[in-house]
Amino acid sequence: MLLCWNAVKSLVRRIVLSRTYRQSSYWREEAFLRDPDNRLLWRANKRRLEADCIRDAMLAVSGRLDLTPRKGSLVAGLGDKSDSLFGFTQGVPSDLDGSHHRSVYLPVVRDRLPDVLDLFDFAEPGLVTGDWDTTNVPMQALYLMNNPFVREQAGAFAKRLGDFSPDVEDRLRQGFYMAFGRGPDDSERARIREFLSRLPDGSAEDAEALLCQVLLSSAEFRNLD
C-alpha cells in the first residue's frame, strides 16, 4: 500500500510540475488553426472559480477576509430551534451570509443554501454529487449587481484603494492589479475617464465604489487564466 501511495504522489508531482499543466490560457492564432479544440493541450482551458472561491476572492480584494476560524455557524447559533426557522430568526441575514469569514464556514443546510453558493452551482447537499456544474445564468449577474454583500465589498474595496493614493487613476490602476493581476489597457482607461467626467460634483466616492463593483462583477474576476 505504501509503495502504491508513493507512486501516486510521484505521478501527481510529475503532472503538476509539467509545462503543460502550468501554462496559461493565452490564445495563439497559429496553435488554434492547427488544433481548434485544444486536444493537444497547447493552452489551459479557462474555468470559472467555484462558488466559495468567488466569495472569498471578493473578501480578499476588499481587505475584509477574516482568516480566523469561526466559532460555530448560523445553524449552531439557533440553539434548539429548527433550521426551518431561519427566515424568522432575528439577526440571520436573508442570504445567510453575515460574516467576513471564509466561505467554508457558511451554513450548508438541505433546501436552504446561502445565495452565493446556491447561485454559483454549489453541490446540492441533499444529493450525492461527483462533480459541480458550471453555469452562466442571469440570476448570477443580478446577484453581483444588487446583493448587499457584493455592494459592501465593493465599497470596502474602494475605501482600501482610497488609502493607497490620492490620485484617482493610480487608485484604479491598483484596483485592476488587485482584481485581475494586470493594469487597465488604453480602452479601459478611456472609458473610466469618460464615466468619471460625467459625474456631478461630490459623487466621486460613490462612483469609485461602483467601478470597484464592476471589477468584482466582471467575467475576468470570476475566471482563471
- The answer on pLDDT for 126 being more than 90 is no
**What does the pLDDT average to over 177-195?**
91
- The secondary structure element, H or E, covering residue 223 is strand 223-224
Predicted pLDDT at 85: 60
Mean pLDDT across 8-16? 92
Average pLDDT, the chain: 86
pLDDT, tens digit (0-9, with 9 covering 90-100), for 72-122: 777 666 655 555 666 566 667 778 787 899 999 888 877 788 899 999 999
* pLDDT tens-digit readout, 14-31: 999 999 999 988 889 999
Grid cell in block for residue 85: 426557522
Predicted structure pTM score: 0.83
Per-residue pLDDT, 129: 80
Please indicate whether residue 72 or residue 134 has the higher confidence score (pLDDT): 134
Domain definitions of the chain by residue range: 2-45, 47-225
- 55 pLDDT tier (thresholds 50, 70, 90): very high
The percentage of the chain sitting over the pLDDT mark of 90, rounded to a whole number, equals 54
Residue 162 to residue 205: CA distance in whole angstroms: 9
- Which DSSP string do the residues of 25-41 spell out, in sequence order? ----HHHHHH-TT-TT-
pLDDT tens for 37-47 read 999 999 998 88
Mean pLDDT of 64-75: 84
Give dist(CA 152, CA 143) in Å, integer.
Answer: 13
Distances (CA, A) of 26 to 43, 45, 46, 90, 153: 6, 9, 9, 49, 30
Q: How much is the pLDDT for 148?
A: 92
The 3-state secondary structure of 73-138, one letter per residue = CCCHHHCCCCHHHHHHCCCCCCCCCCCCECHHHCCCECCECCHHHHHCCCCCCCCCCCCCCCCCCH
Residue 77: what pLDDT?
63
* Cell (9 digits) for 120: 454559483
CA distance 2 to 32: 43
Band (pLDDT 50/70/90 cuts) for residue 174 is: very high
